[in-house]
């Protein structure tokens, strides 16, 4: 999904954990190759220079620190940079898939998530209550309202989306937010 929002002129190579580097856009016509999918099990295409490899190689790449960045979803994150996104004990068993490997191996981890649950309960907490995917692994949190950096001092609010202010965002967040002196509007690209 991220692949559709990369601004023109920025050169990014996407890795898919199931064994591909150089992942292209979804096929535009009805025809799709079932042997060519991404980690979300959706059909993709090949970019020039792409490569295929087995799972153990894919995760050697991930674990070995060769990924500049990983972007993942979350059920909860907290002010220590902890992430929870794979199970709700007794209620939901989703599985961690490659998420634990990604957060342990990628050089920068960005969590892209909805700020609160559907019932308005904060997901950005003082301390995660769900089983963790990784401990002290998150560098940045981006939601529909803001961009937050995880720092040694705590969560630093650096960007806001249109129509909210720092007070609104704090009211939707359990963890205390530090407000950056350089707080600014988030530049949003809609070119998906």
Residues 98-157 that bind other proteins (CB under 8 A): 98-101, 104-105, 131-136
Q: 126 or 172, CB closer to other proteins?
A: 126
Cα distances from 40 to residues 20, 22, 26, in angstroms, run 13, 15, 12
Place of tokens 């309202």: 145
Q: Which is nearer to other proteins, 38 or 158 (CB)?
A: 38
**Other Cβ atoms closer than 10 A to 163:** 7
Choice between 46 and 174, CB closer to other proteins: 46
**Does 86 engage in binding with other proteins (CB under 8 A)?**
yes
> Least distance from C-beta 71 to other proteins, angstroms?
17
Q: Which is nearer to other proteins, 94 or 107 (CB)?
A: 94
Minimum CB distance to other proteins, residue 112 (Å): 19
Per-residue binding string, other proteins, 5-34, x by CB under 8 A, is -----------xxxxx-----------xxx
Helical (H) or strand (E) element with 7 = none
Site for other proteins in 51-80 (CB under 8 A): 52-56, 58-60, 62-63
Exposure string for 73-100, b = 16+ CB within 10 A, e = fewer: ebbbbbbbbbbbbbbeeeeeeeebebbb
Indicate the residue among 47 and 179 with the shorter CB distance to other proteins: 47
Of 62, 63, 94, 99, the closest CA to residue 82 belongs to 99
Distances (CA, A) of 94 to 17, 58, 71, 75, 133: 17, 21, 18, 11, 12
Query: What's the token pair of residue 28?
Result: 């535009």
Active-site choice (17, 46, 56, 159): 17
Annotated catalytic residue 174: no
**Whole-number Å distance between alpha carbons of 35 and 33:** 5
Binding footprint of other proteins, residue count (CB under 8 A): 51
Contact residues for other proteins (CB under 8 A)?
16-20, 32-43, 46, 52-56, 58-60, 62-63, 82, 86-87, 90-101, 104-105, 131-136
The catalytic residue positions are: 17
């Amino acid at each position: 999904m991220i692949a559709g929002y990369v601004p023109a002129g920025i050169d990014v190579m996407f890795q898919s954990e199931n064994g591909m580097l150089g992942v292209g856009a979804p096929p535009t016509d009805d025809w799709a190759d079932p042997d060519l999918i991404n980690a979300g099990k959706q059909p993709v295409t090949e970019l020039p220079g792409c490569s295929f490899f087995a799972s153990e190689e894919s995760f050697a790449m991930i674990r070995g620190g060769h990924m500049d960045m990983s972007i993942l979803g979350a059920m909860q994150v907290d002010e220590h940079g902890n992430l929870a996104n794979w199970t709700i004990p007794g209620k939901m068993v989703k599985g961690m898939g490659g998420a634990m490997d990604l957060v342990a191996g990628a050089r920068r981890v960005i969590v892209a998530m909805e700020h609160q649950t559907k019932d308005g309960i904060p997901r950005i907490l003082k301390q995660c209550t769900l089983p963790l995917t990784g401990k002290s692994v998150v560098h940045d949190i981006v939601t529909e309202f803001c961009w937050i950096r995880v720092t040694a001092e705590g969560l630093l609010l650096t960007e806001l989306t249109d129509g909210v202010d720092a007070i609104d965002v704090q009211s939707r967040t359990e963890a205390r937010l530090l407000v950056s002196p350089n707080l600014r509007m988030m530049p949003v690209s809609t070119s998906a």
